[in-house]
């Protein structure tokens, strides 16, 4: 996969409380990094997660898959990159995290999301309106 697909990135400094007894970032915290990266992407696309909620649109995660390659440690910086594909009603975020110091891949992830209105999944057209230009074919 070419890195040129990425359309958004943020850099996060590892916080020591995110590291566990093994001295490395706890696995679940990568999911937190990924959520924050998605929400920052939404903001950069002109619409916040809380703004969508105010419109009655909830972005709901249906599935997540993460491969763990290299662990992040205290003092490391995580570069969270993503691109987005639409697959029918689903918006699939491909989210990879790299260690800033050497650009080494730490985690490779995929997050399947849908939009719901009134608790029911939609065909995705509400979000497509916001994401249109960001969707990778």
Which one of the spans 33-41, 81-89, 93-101, 126-134 is the region binding its own copies (CB under 8 A)? 33-41
| Closest listed residue to residue 37, CA positions, set 1, 66, 2, 8 | 8
CA–CA gap between residue 123 and residue 126 (Å, rounded): 8
- Please classify residue 15 by burial: count the beta carbons closer than 10 Å to its beta carbon, then call 0-12 exposed, 13-18 middle and 19+ buried: exposed
CB of 33 to its own copies, least distance (A): 9
Residues 6+ apart with CB under 8 A from 135: 84, 85, 86, 91, 128
Is residue 19 close enough to count as binding its own copies by CB under 8 A? yes
Which one, 74 or 137, has the nearer CB to its own copies?
A: 74
Question: Cβ closer to its own copies: 2 or 17?
Answer: 17
Distance from CA of residue 69 to its chain's centroid? Answer: 17
Told to check if 97 binds its own copies by CB under 8 A, we report no
**Is 31 one of the binding residues for its own copies (CB under 8 A)?**
yes
Does position 68 interact with its own copies (CB under 8 A)? The reply is: yes
Count interface residues toward its own copies (CB under 8 A): 37
- Residues from 38 through 67 that contact its own copies (CB under 8 A): 39-40, 43, 48-50, 53, 58, 60-67
């Amino acid at each position: 996969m070419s890195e040129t697909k990425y359309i958004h990135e943020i850099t996060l400094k590892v916080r020591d409380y995110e590291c566990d007894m093994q001295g490395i970032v706890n696995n679940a915290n990568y999911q937190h990094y990924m959520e924050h990266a998605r929400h920052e992407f939404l903001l950069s696309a002109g619409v916040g997660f809380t703004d969508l909620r105010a419109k009655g649109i909830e972005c709901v995660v249906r599935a997540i898959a993460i491969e763990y390659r290299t662990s992040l440690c205290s003092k490391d910086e995580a570069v969270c990159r993503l691109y987005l594909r639409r697959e029918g009603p689903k918006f699939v975020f491909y989210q990879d995290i790299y260690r800033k110091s050497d650009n080494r891949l730490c985690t490779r992830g995929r997050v399947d999301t849908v939009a719901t209105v009134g608790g029911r999944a939609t065909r995705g057209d509400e979000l497509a309106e916001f994401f249109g230009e960001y969707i990778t074919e």
